[in-house]
A and B are shown apart, each in its own frame.
Chain A
Amino acid sequence: MTAASPTSPGTPTGDEASPKTTPHPIRELLLQRSLLGLLTLLLVSVIVFAATQVLPGNAAYAVLGQTATPESLAALEHRLGLDQPALVQYWHWLSGVLRGDLGTSLVGQQRPVGELVWPRVLNSAVLVLLAGVTGSVLGVALGLFSALRRDKPSDHALSVLSLGVTSLPEFAVAIALVFVLATNVLHLFPAVSPIPPGVPPWQEPSMLVLPVLTLVIVVVPYIFRMMRAASIEALESDYVEMARLKGLPKTAVLLRHALPNALPATIQAIGLTFLYLAGGIVLVEYVFAYPGIGAGLVFAVTDKDIPVIQFIVLLLAAFYVFVNIVTDVASLLASPRRRVPR
C-alpha cells in the first residue's frame, strides 16, 4: 500500500530502473543513476544560488545590514558581481565551484572559502564515519536480535525503548548526555569538543565520545525499527518456512535463507544512517562546539557569509545524492531477484 521503493529519497519512482538484457546491466544502472544524480545536483545548485543570491535582501545588504549606505551597497554589489544579470552571476559561481575557485569569505579576514571549509570537512568526515559505522552496526544487530526473539520480553523492551528515543531532538539528547556524563552526575568526558585547528580529531578521542554518542542514540532507533521489520518479513516468508519444514538446522535457515533476503533492507538502513548524519551533524556539532561543517554552516548563517553557506550546502547535498546512488545500486545488486537479467 505504500511506496515500492520508499527508503531512499533519491530513488526514481516506480520500477523503471530494472536492468535490461544488456552485456553490463550493472554498469548501465550505475551510469543512469549517476547521470540522474548529476542532474539533481545541478538543480540543487540552482536552488542554493537562488536562495542565497537572488532573493530580495541580497548578499551585499545582508553583509552590510543596518550600516549600509547607498554608496557602500553599490560598491559591494559591484565587488560581488551582484549588479550583473542573475544568469551571468550563476554561471560565474558554478564555473568557479567546478574549477575549485570557491570565492572568499565575506567576513573577518576574508580568507578563501576552501581554506576555511576543507579542514572542517575532515573533522565532520571523522564524526560521520564513526557515528555511521557504530550506528549501523548497533541498529542492524539489535534489529536482527529483536526479530529473532519476536514477542519475547527483550523484543518488547527494545521496541518500546526505540519508540521513546525515536524523534528525540539531538540537542535534548546532547544536553542529557552532558548532564549525565560530563558535568553533573559523572565527569568522564569533556562537555565541549573544540578540536584545536591543525589537530586531527582522532588524536582527541575523549572529545569525540559525546558527539558520536549523541548521533548514535538518535539514529539507532530508526535503523533498529527498519531492520526488525525487514527481518521479520524475511523470517516469515514462504521459502524460509519451506527450509524450516525441510528440517534444516535453525542456523542454516537463518544464514542461508533468511539473511540474504534481508540484505537489501540492511543496505538501505545503512544508507539511511548516513543520510540522517548529513543533517544531524548540524545541531550536534554546534552543541559541542565541534569544528566541522555543520557548526561551520550555523556560524556562516549567523554571519550571513554567503559563499561559505553556498559551498557547505552544496557539499552536504552532494553527499546526500552520493549516498543515495550508492545505496540504491548496492541494494539492487544485493536483492536476489534483481541479480538475474531478464
Chain B
Amino acid sequence: MTADPVAVPRVRRSEFGHVLRNAVRTGRGRVGLGLTLLVLLVAFVGPFFTPYDPTAYITTPFAKPSAIAKLGGDVLGRDVLSRVLDGGWELIVLATTATLLGVALGALAGVYAGYRRGTPDTVVMRAVDVLLAFPQIVFVLLLVSVVGPSAWLLVVAVGLSHAPQVARVLRASTLDVSERDFVKAVEITGVSSGRVMSGEILPNLITPLMVELGLRMTYSIVIIAGLSFIGFGLAPPTPNWGTMINENRIGLTLNPWAAIAPAIMIALLTIGLNTFTDAVTRVALGVDRGEADPPAVASAQVPIAVGAAEETSP
C-alpha cells in the first residue's frame, strides 16, 4: 500500500478535489466563492458593457448620479460606472501573476529547504528571515523606488515579497510529509531526490499550497491596489479601482460614488477570497465537513492562526 509511487499522488489529488467540493458546500465557502465570482464577472465581463469610453469626459466633475451617468462623474467628469466596470481586470491579472510567481518561488525554496535539510535549509531560511525583516509594502516600495512604476516590476516585486512567507509555510509542511512512510519507501527504491520532491512531496502539499494561493492572492490585490492608490501602480488615465479611490476622494461630499464604488469592489473581492480560503482551510483541517458545523477539533484551529501569523505585512 505504501510503496506504489504512482498511486499515492493520484489519491492525494482527488482528496483535494474532495476538500474543494466540501468547502463549497459550507456556508462560508458558498458566500466566499459567490462574492469572488461576482467581482470577477464585473471585472472581466464589465469592460464589454461600459456605457461610455472610460476615459471620455462626459459630464461635469463630481456630477451627481443622473440618467446620463448612473453613478455620476469622477474628478475629471468621466463616467464613474464605466470606469468601475473597466477598472478591475488589469488589477486582477497583475495580482494573479504576482501571486503565482510568489507562491511558485516560495514553494520551490520551501520544499527544497525542508526536504534537503542541513546547509541548504539553513541558507534558505536565513535568507527568508532577512527578507521578512521588511514590511511587505515597504519591500515593494523599495524595489519600485528606483526603477519607477511598471507592470512587470510590480509583478516581480509583489511576487518576491510573498516568496519568503510561502517558503516558511511549505518548509514546515515538507518537514512533516517527508517523515511519512510512503516517502521513506520510495526513497529506499533509489529514486532521485528531485523525483521524490516533485512526485511524492509536492502532490501531498496541494492543500497548504491552495491555502497559500488564496491568502497571497488577497494580499496581492491589497498591495497592488494600495500601490495604485499612492500612485505607484498602474498608470492613469486607464481606470483602476485603487487609483480611482485616491483621485476621487476629494469629491466625497459631492459624488461619494466615485470613491466608494471602487472601494466596495476591492472590499468585496478581498472578503470573498478570504472567506473562501478560510472555508478551504477549515475543511482541510477537519473543522468543517459540509453542511453541519460539528464540534471542532481544538488544535485544528491553530493553523488558521498560523495563516494569520503570516499576514503581518500587507
Q: List residues of chain A with CB under 8 Å of any chain B CB.
A: 1-4, 6-10, 12-13, 36, 40-41, 43-44, 47-48, 51-52, 55-59, 62, 163-164, 166-172, 175-176, 178-179, 183-184, 191, 222, 225-226, 228-230, 232-233, 236, 268, 272, 275-276, 278-280, 282-283, 286, 297-298, 300-302, 304, 306, 309, 313, 316-317, 320-321, 324
Report whether A317 and B133 are in contact in the complex, using a CB–CB cutoff of 8 Å.
yes
A residues near B28, Cβ cutoff 8 Å: 163
B133 near A172 with CB under 8 A, answer no
Is B305 a contact partner of A230 (Cβ separation < 8 A)?
yes
**CB-defined A-B contacts under 8 Å, sample of 6:** A40-B133, A170-B226, A172-B267, A184-B256, A283-B230, A297-B138
Scan B129-142; emit 1 where CB is below 8 A from any A CB, else 0: 11111111110011
| Given A163-B28, A229-B301, A283-B230, CB of A184 within 8 Å of CB of B138 | no
- Take A175-B249, A282-B141 as given contacts and tell me if A3 and B135 are in contact as well, using a CB distance cutoff of 8 Å: no
Majority DSSP secondary structure for residues of A touching B: helix
- Please classify the interface of chain B as helix (H, G, I), strand (E, B), loop, or mixed, using the class held by over half of its residues: helix
Set of chain A residues within 8 Å of B245, measured between Cβ atoms: 171-172, 175
Q: Which chain B residues lie closer than 8 Å to A316 at the CB level?
A: 134-135, 138
Min CB distance, B299 to chain A, in Å? 6
Q: Report B-chain residues with C-beta under 8 Å of the C-beta of A302.
A: 231
- The answer on a CB contact under 8 Å between B314 and A279 is yes
A306 cross-chain contacts in B, Cβ below 8 A: 145-146
Known: A2-B306, A3-B169, A6-B309. A47 touches B230 (CB 8 A): no
CB distance from B139 to the nearest CB of A (A): 8
Separation in Å of the A287 CB from the closest CB of chain B?
8
> Is A167 in contact with B311, judged by CB distance below 8 angstroms?
yes
B267 cross-chain contacts in A, Cβ below 8 A = 168-169, 172
Most chain A CB neighbours (cut-off 10 Å) among B129, B145, B231: B145
Residue tally, chain B, CB below 8 Å to A: 73
Asked if residues B176 and A1 are in contact (CB atoms below 8 Å), the reply is: yes
Closest B-chain residue to A36, C-beta based?
A: B129
- On chain B, the residues within 8 Å of A283 by CB distance are 137, 226, 229-230
Q: Which B residues are within 8 Å of any A CB, using their own CB?
A: 28, 121, 125, 129-138, 141-148, 164-165, 168-169, 171-173, 176, 208, 218-219, 221-222, 225-226, 229-232, 242, 245-246, 249, 252-253, 256, 259-260, 263, 266-267, 270-271, 273-275, 278, 298-299, 301-306, 308-314
- In the bound complex, do residue B308 and residue A166 qualify as a contact, i.e. CB atoms below 8 Å apart? yes
Judge whether A183 and B253 touch: CB under 8 Å.
yes
Q: Do A172 and B310 touch (CB < 8 A)?
A: no
Whether B225 contacts A169 by the Cβ 8 Å rule is yes
**Residue pair B130, A55 in contact (C-beta under 8 Å):** no
Q: Which residues of A contact B131 (CB under 8 A)?
A: 47
Contacts A175-B263, A301-B144; A230 near B302 (Cβ below 8 A)? yes
Cα–Cα distance between A1 and B146 once the two chains are bound (Å): 41
Contact A184:B252 (CB < 8 A) given known A272-B309, A313-B138: yes
* Nearest B-chain residue to A236, judged by Cβ: B298
Q: In angstroms, how far is the closest chain B Cβ from the Cβ of A194?
A: 14
Residue from A172, A179, A225, A276 within 8 A of B313 (CB atoms): A276
> Chain B residues with Cβ under 8 A from A9's Cβ?
129, 132-133, 164-165, 168, 312
A301 vs B149: C-alpha distance when bound (angstroms): 10
How far is A225 from B308 in the complex, measured between Cα atoms in Å? 8
- Set B256, B259, B301, B312: member contacting A272, Cβ < 8 A: B312
B residues near A297, Cβ cutoff 8 Å = 138, 141
Q: If A184-B253, A316-B135, A317-B133 touch, does A172 touch B263 (CB 8 Å cutoff)?
A: yes
Tell me whether A320 and B134 are in contact (CB under 8 A): yes
* Further 15 A-B residue pairs, CB within 8 A, beyond A275-B313, A279-B313: A2-B169, A7-B306, A9-B129, A12-B129, A36-B129, A55-B147, A57-B146, A62-B146, A164-B271, A176-B260, A226-B308, A275-B135, A279-B312, A298-B141, A316-B135
